[in-house]
Amino acid sequence: MTVRPITVIGHKALHQPTKKVREITPEIRTLVADMFDTLDAANGAGLAANQVGVRLRIFVYDCADETEVEQRGVVINPILEKGVVPPGDPDPEGGIEGCLSVPGEYFPTARASWARVTGTDLDGNEVVVEAHGGTLARCLQHETDHLDGKLYVERLTPRYRTAAREAMKSRGWQAQHITKWNPETQEAEKV
């Protein structure tokens, strides 16, 4: 298996909707195994296929549910259902979110406390992942957003969106043409 470079904000794969998986091929199985290796190397909670440059509707996750029990799995062609997202600024303590494609930055992000994703696994069996709070509920929404071509920083309220823009500008990713980050070496790669 392989740890793949992670696409960084500004990479076109992150800003376009992904395509439905029509068939589970050996290449899809290898991709999923590589995604788990990449997620583990980056110490993340979830990883969408377009975060490793592949525009397919697949994500993997490894995080705690509302009872603090670790959950790990893959969802292919996920469909998200969620509760209501509370209006206004999120709790600056309890609503902190980060992203492997926006490395080193964390901002309060409003998310619904309940989320359910339905899809399939690598054997074509139906998968239903449901969470009532905790990191898993946030992860299901975050990763499905990725597959729809949306980053969490686009969901920030104006107060935090300004801070996020300033942080990304100060890192100079776009000015330096950085589009990938290697979780093993902790270094950025230029195009």
Q: What is the CATH number of the domain that holds 87?
A: 3.90.45.10
Helix (H) or strand (E) holding 18: none
Residue 54 has pLDDT above 90, yes or no: yes
Higher pLDDT, 118 or 162: 118
Q: How many domains does the chain have?
A: 1
Answer whether residue 190 is part of any domain: no
Answer whether residue 182 is part of any domain: no
Q: How far is the C-alpha of 141 from the C-alpha of 153, rounded, in Å?
A: 13
Other beta carbons less than 10 A from residue 54's beta carbon: 19
Answer whether residue 170 is part of any domain: yes
Contact predicate 98/106, CB 8 Å: yes
Answer whether residue 183 is part of any domain: no
Helix (H) or strand (E) holding 45: none
Q: How far is the C-alpha of 44 from the C-alpha of 35, rounded, in Å?
A: 11
**Residue type (1 letter), 171:** R
Of 45-54, 163-172, 175-184, the one with minimum mean pLDDT is 175-184
Answer whether residue 37 is part of any domain: yes
Q: Minimal CA–CA distance to 51: which of 100, 16, 106, 122?
A: 100
| Assigned token pair, 160 | 């935090």
Instruction: Say what the pLDDT of residue 174 is.
Output: 58
Helix/strand number for the chain, H first, E second = 3, 10
Annotation-wise, does 146 bind a ligand? Answer: yes
Domain ranges, residue 142: 6-176
Annotation-wise, does 11 bind a ligand? Answer: no
Q: How far is the C-alpha of 153 from the C-alpha of 2, rounded, in Å?
A: 28
Q: Minimal CA–CA distance to 48: which of 21, 9, 12, 74?
A: 74
Local confidence band at 191 (pLDDT 50, 70, 90 cut-offs):
low
Answer whether residue 181 is part of any domain: no
Residue 176 has pLDDT above 60, yes or no: no
Q: Mean pLDDT throughout 180-191? A: 64
Local confidence band at 1 (pLDDT 50, 70, 90 cut-offs):
low
Which residue out of 143, 154, 184, 189 is catalytically annotated? 143
pLDDT tens sequence across 83-94: 999 888 888 877
Q: Could you tell me which residues come within 8 angstroms of residue 150 by beta carbon, excluding any fewer than 6 positions away? A: none
Residue 143: active-site member: yes
Instruction: Say what the pLDDT of residue 126 is.
Output: 98
Answer whether residue 187 is part of any domain: no
Q: How far is the C-alpha of 75 from the C-alpha of 86, rounded, in Å?
A: 26
Residue 121 has pLDDT above 70, yes or no: yes
